[in-house]
Amino acid sequence: MTEPRLYPPVEPYATHRIAVGDGHELHVEEVGRPDGVPVVFLHGGPGGGLVPAARRFFDPLRYRAVLFDQRGAGRSTPFGELRGNTTGHLVADLETIRERLGIDRWLVFGGSWGVTLGLAYAQTHPERVTGLVLRGVLLLRRSERDWFYQGGLRHLQPDEWERFVAPIPAAERDDVLAAYHRRLHGPDEAQARACAVAWGRWEAVNSSLRPDPGVLAHFTAEEQALPIARILSHYAVHGGFLGETQLLDGVDRIRHLPAVIINGRYDLCCPPVSAYDLARRWPEAELRIVPDAGHSAAEPGIARELLRATDRFAGLLS
């Protein structure tokens, strides 16, 4: 299969450190041209942080792309901090960044957890959004969490599921997510680190059709596996600090905005049923199910649709 045309690697023309309260300071970067179409990139995880390749989905001659590490993630500090770290805080951070950079309205581009945050933000501040590009839909409903953390996915990944649950005693496997949360946030540091590596492997091997060694190394690296797993479990066990159907029920507030919803047919992290449910509530949005892709934005079919969407929005919003 032909690899998608990503825009060339590019360095930020500006970087910022923005204090957002609760002791958090965010790393923010701007890429492209200062007078370009504003777009904000929302990374996954939560806790995943930015990678340089994220800059390459936006035409640098047409976009002013704003990318940032969310609270506790990447180069934002304190790394792994959970205090003052909820979806509501992250929504407020987006407004702080937008106001600090003097942007009136912007396109929202998010993948996986970035979809969750993007929808929460857009539904809270629809007047500040010009449109949405959403990849790998995660609504953090109980059915989605049960699929990924409570055994649904074991039918497709039985060997990896056995590795994932190995640190959890059989008597506690009726609620694997809660058992992991207790250990990741418990007083036994050695146990927490061992659980973090197992958790990180589970996240990584399900993030694309063919597991990416780089992603696996990132999620299981000793210095960052535990902070990332703690943030992920913090949000997962609390359902993203959202109501069960909050993001679907809030669609009416953003139906007037143009949107593209992209999902891999074989996405193991975020099965396409969630994208389909979102599109049914949002018939004006364009749904694109990629027939030969999983979850990762780096997979050729997903990347191709993302580029098509950002190129189209660049013309629409110029």
Q: Quickly tell me which residue has 């045309």 as its tokens.
A: 5
Catalytic residue among 27, 76, 267, 296: 267
Q: How far apart are CA 105 and CA 237, in angstroms?
A: 33
143 is catalytic: no
Strands, E, within 23-77: which ranges?
24-32, 37-42, 63-68
How would you label 80-94 residue by residue, b for 16+ Cβ within 10 Å and e otherwise?
bbbeebbbebbbbbb
Active-site annotation holder among 24, 27, 43, 112: 112
> Are residues 110 and 137 in contact, defined by beta-carbon separation less than 8 angstroms?
no
Distance of CA 163 to CAs 50, 166, 190, 221, Å? 27, 5, 18, 17
User: Is 234 annotated in the active site?
Assistant: no
Q: If you search the block for the tokens 């992991």, which residue do you land on?
A: 180
Contacts of 40 (CB under 8 A, 6+ apart): 65, 66, 67, 68, 94, 97, 98, 106, 107, 108, 109
Active site residue 267: yes
Please pick, among 27, 181, 234, 295, the residue that the annotation labels catalytic: 295
**Both tokens of residue 9?**
């690697």
User: Count of CB atoms within 10 A of residue 130's CB?
Assistant: 17
Which residues carry out catalysis?
A: 112, 267, 295
